[in-house]
């Protein structure tokens, strides 16, 4: 049984999903060590974990790893990766940049773990190494496993780092080494795992999925005893929550509302981004003269404020029209408060949107099709809407409750794998 959890992450802040994992790990492990570059946003307090120790790697060690990277380009791992990439006509410059990045990041993380072993801070036989992404963190984990076979090596696999549609060089990040060096690769979605293997096996036919599992991360309710309420007046209230960037396609909601000819409807969007002002201008041009359509943009809000909005304001329906996704936390969060959703059938969205919890749109839907779905829901009886809301809450609690999922997973990798 392992009593120490070492987490590797090359981001310069602790991402929200890891804040939850670390919080629940506090009840499972005796020691939690988080290794990262110098944090530009030191948000460790958000983890609510008294056993957490954060090791920030100084810039001097980055420079050391960068100087070492040309030598690493000559090792067997790199030469094999270059050889495979050549058969696929990959850009030499892009490949070299990626391999150097992998070399630098993985060496920095690996060296810090080795220093902890030398200082007797951790013992491989008692330690689980958890890579937060199937990227350079997983490569570092695989290299550590080769050096210290007693480590239990685990890596998450999310979306960007395993989806060739989002990351053209996805298959050229030492994938074979990562598969061989990780005891378990933990995908957050069945759909994303299948998409990954459908592609990766065309390049690495020897890679098998026997070392992979799927475990839903889930979401954590900031207000566990509260639910969102549906509208009791004659207005249908819809919400969306995402960055305003091209892949999220929030402008399609504006386009859909421009076709609206039903009763009163109110749309609020939570989230900012580089395209926010353009989105506001589009809404002004297309919606300002529609008397029964109201809209507002809340900008970027802290996660707790997003959930607070769901609790303090009626929300009848949630909308997600992304071009690509992993398994959207925004869908989990809205459903945890009993809000049914309409979402595009991309990534793992179909794993949370069922015929009982909401509605799926094809990836390449036309705006009027979204309009029609909203109109259909608007015509539902109170009993039908309440059934959808009840189903959403139950489905979230059964499959996407982060408290249950994280504790079960953390215990699993500590004891069984």
Distance of CA 369 to the CA centre of its chain: 28
End-to-end CA gap in the chain: 10
Please, which pLDDT band fits residue 416 given cuts at 50, 70 and 90? confident
pLDDT for the residue numbered 325: 93
Q: Could you tell me which residues are beta bridge partners of residue 341?
A: 318, 358
Query: What average pLDDT is seen over the chain?
Result: 95
Q: What's the pLDDT tens digit per position in 150-198?
A: 999 999 999 999 999 899 999 999 999 999 999 999 999 999 999 999 9
Tokens in use for 410? 């953390």
Q: Which of 173, 166, 162, 172 is nearest to 212 (CA)?
A: 162
Per-residue pLDDT, averaged over 228-251, amounts to 97
Q: Which of 282, 337, 347, 295 is nearest to 314 (CA)?
A: 337
Alpha helices in 222-261 (DSSP H): 251-257
CA nearest 320: which of 302, 301, 333, 307?
A: 333
Mean pLDDT across 321-343 = 97
The answer to whether 299 touches 305, Cβ cutoff 8 Å, is: no
Total-model pTM:
0.92
Domain assignments of the chain as residue spans, ordered by start:
4-218+403-414, 235-400
Q: What percent of the chain has pLDDT over 90?
A: 89
> Regarding the domain with residue range 235-400, which homologous superfamily does it belong to in the CATH classification?
Glycogen Phosphorylase B; (3.40.50.2000)
pLDDT band of 332, cuts 50, 70, 90: very high
**Torsion (CA) 252, 253, 256, 260 in degrees, nearest 10:** -160
Using CA atoms, how far apart are residues 410 and 4, in angstroms rounded to an integer? 11
- C-alpha radius of gyration, the chain, whole number: 23
Structure tokens at 55: 């090791």
Give residue-wise pLDDT tens across range 62-98: 778 888 888 888 899 999 999 999 988 899 999 999 9
Among 90-94, 109-113, 186-190, 368-372, the minimum mean pLDDT is found in 90-94
Does the fold of domain 235-400 match that of domain 4-218+403-414? yes
- Can you tell me the mean pLDDT for 326-341? 97
Confidence of residue 208 (pLDDT cuts 50, 70, 90): confident
pLDDT at 58: 87
CA distance 195 to 44: 34
pLDDT attached to residue 60: 83
Q: 7: which residues sit within 8 A by CB, 6+ positions away?
A: 18, 21, 22, 32, 33, 34, 35, 130, 132
Give the CA distances from residue 253 to residues 35, 248, 367, 368, 379, in Å, rounded to whole numbers and listed in that order. 40, 10, 7, 10, 19
Say if residues 183 and 153 touch (Cβ distance below 8 Å): yes
- The confidence score (pLDDT) of residue 209 equals 82
Which pLDDT score is estimated for 139?
A: 98
Q: Helix or strand or coil: residue 388?
A: helix
- As its CATH architecture, domain 4-218+403-414 has 3-Layer(aba) Sandwich (3.40)
Backbone angles phi, psi at 246, to 5 degrees: -55, -40
Helix (H) or strand (E) holding 57, with range, is: strand 52-57
- Order of strands, sheet of 358-361, starting from the edge strand that comes earlier in the sequence: 293-299, 264-270, 235-241, 317-320, 341-344, 358-361
Contact 25/3 with Cβ under 8 angstroms? no
């Amino acid at each position: 049984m392992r009593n120490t959890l070492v987490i590797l992450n090359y981001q310069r802040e602790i991402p929200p999903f890891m804040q939850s994992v670390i919080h629940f790990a506090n009840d499972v492990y005796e020691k939690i060590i988080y290794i990262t570059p110098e944090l530009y946003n030191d948000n460790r307090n958000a983890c609510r974990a008294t056993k957490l120790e954060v090791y920030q790697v100084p810039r001097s060690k980055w420079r050391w790893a960068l100087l070492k990277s040309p030598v690493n380009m000559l090792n067997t791992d790199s030469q094999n990766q270059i050889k495979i990439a050549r058969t696929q006509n990959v850009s030499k410059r892009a490949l070299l940049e990626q391999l150097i990045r992998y070399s630098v990041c993985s060496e920095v993380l690996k060296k810090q773990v080795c220093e902890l072993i030398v200082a007797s801070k951790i013992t491989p036989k008692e330690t689980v190494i958890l890579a937060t992404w199937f990227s350079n963190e997983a490569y570092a984990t695989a290299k550590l496993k080769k050096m210290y076979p007693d480590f239990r090596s685990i890596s998450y696999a999310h979306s960007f780092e395993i989806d060739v549609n989002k990351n053209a060089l996805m298959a050229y990040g030492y994938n074979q080494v990562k598969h061989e060096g990780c005891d378990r690769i933990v995908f957050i979605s069945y759909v994303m795992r299948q998409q990954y293997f459908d592609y990766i096996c065309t390049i690495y036919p020897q890679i098998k999925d026997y070392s992979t599992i799927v475990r839903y991360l889930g979401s954590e309710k900031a207000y566990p005893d509260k639910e969102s309420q549906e509208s009791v007046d004659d207005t249908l209230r819809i919400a969306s929550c995402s960055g305003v960037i091209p892949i999220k396609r929030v402008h399609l909601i504006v386009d859909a509302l421009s076709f609206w000819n039903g009763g009163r409807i109110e749309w609020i969007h939570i989230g900012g981004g580089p395209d926010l002002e353009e989105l506001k201008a589009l809404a002004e041009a297309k919606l300002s003269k529609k008397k029964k359509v109201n809209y507002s943009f809340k900008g970027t809000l802290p996660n707790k404020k997003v959930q607070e909005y769901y609790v303090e304001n009626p929300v009848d329906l949630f909308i997600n029209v992304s071009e690509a996704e992993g398994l959207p936390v925004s869908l989990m969060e809205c459903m945890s408060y009993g809000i049914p959703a309409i979402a595009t059938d991309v990534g793992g969205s179909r794993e949370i949107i069922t015929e009982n919890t909401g509605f799926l749109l094809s990836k390449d839907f036309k705006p009027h099709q979204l309009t029609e779905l909203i109109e259909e829901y608007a015509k539902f009886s109170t009993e039908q809407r309440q059934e959808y809301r009840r189903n959403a809450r139950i489905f979230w609690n059964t499959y996407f409750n982060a408290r249950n999922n994280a504790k079960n997973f953390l215990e699993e990798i500590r004891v069984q794998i």
